[in-house]
Structure 1
């Protein structure tokens, strides 16, 4: 009778370990390499919130009074930095484009800088995120799926 109890206990212990591992992969600890890279890139930032973004890690923080985020891969390589903008800080041709195409009011705006130095502007409207190149030329509409 003791044998089945021991086996059952062992199986339950393994199952509990698997759940813990899955939980770690779905939003557990931020890798040390990522935290170290962030500290090197933004040494002045003391308060940061981390999110697991489908295999990458996003740090959300304030920098120079602006909402900012930086995305890193699991090895600690920065992929992009996104900084919020006032809508009036968007290039004028973006604001004109949104009005001419009747996308409605711009809710939020941001400037995204990729690791290669390329710049993308983002204008959030009701239907999704409008992306523009560094010159303010329309690139695409990204619709978030729930």
Structure 2
């Protein structure tokens, strides 16, 4: 019985370590995705590509900002996330965070531009990402 438990725990640990490694493993993008990235973000530096589900996410720096963008393997741009100062969040988002996460630090904030033209904001509190629409209304 003890041996079975040890085997199950070992298998779980291996699976978790393997999943984390796959998530963080850099990938080489195809020509279409790479060309679309270079066209949309000329002058970007330190590009690091990784898989995000069926798509590709590229983390990079541009004009002094840390950014990421998601492209389909065929090069269709889906969204861009740009790190912003926490104080740059919309006022409604800041109020929501003060009311619902009083005393907790917002460690990161970002502006997310979607392919459909919509804008969202993201605030990281603890290990949670809190999403807001363009006006700062809480989404999830």
TM range (shorter): 0.7 to 0.9
Higher RCO, 1 vs 2 (CA within 8 Å, ≥6 residues apart): 2
Aligned twin of 1:73: 72
Q: Deviations over 1:100-128 (max 9, x none)?
A: 01262111000000011100100001151
TM (norm. structure 1) is 0.74
Aligned twin of 2:13: none
Which of 96-105 and 121-130 deviates more?
96-105
Pairing of 1:54-69 with structure 2 (within 5 A): 54-69=53-68
Q: CA deviation at 1:27?
A: 5.6
Query: Per the alignment, in what secondary structure is the counterpart of residue 116 of structure 1?
Result: coil
Structure 2: gaps of 5 or more residues: 1-21
Does residue 118 (structure 1) correspond to residue 118 (structure 2)? The answer is yes
Which whole-Å CA distance do the structure 1 matches of 2:26 and 2:60 have between them? 18
Q: How many residues end up aligned between the 2 structures?
A: 116
Which of 87-96 and 111-120 deviates more?
87-96
Structure 1: gaps of 5 or more residues: 1-22, 141-146
Which whole-Å CA distance do the structure 1 matches of 2:120 and 2:47 have between them? 23
Max Rg structure: 1
After superposition, the CA RMSD in angstroms is 1.7
TM (norm. structure 2) is 0.77
Q: After TM superposition, which residue ranges in structure 1, 4 or more long, deviate above 2 angstroms?
A: 26-29
Q: Deviations over 1:76-110 (max 9, x none)?
A: 10000000010011112211111101262111000
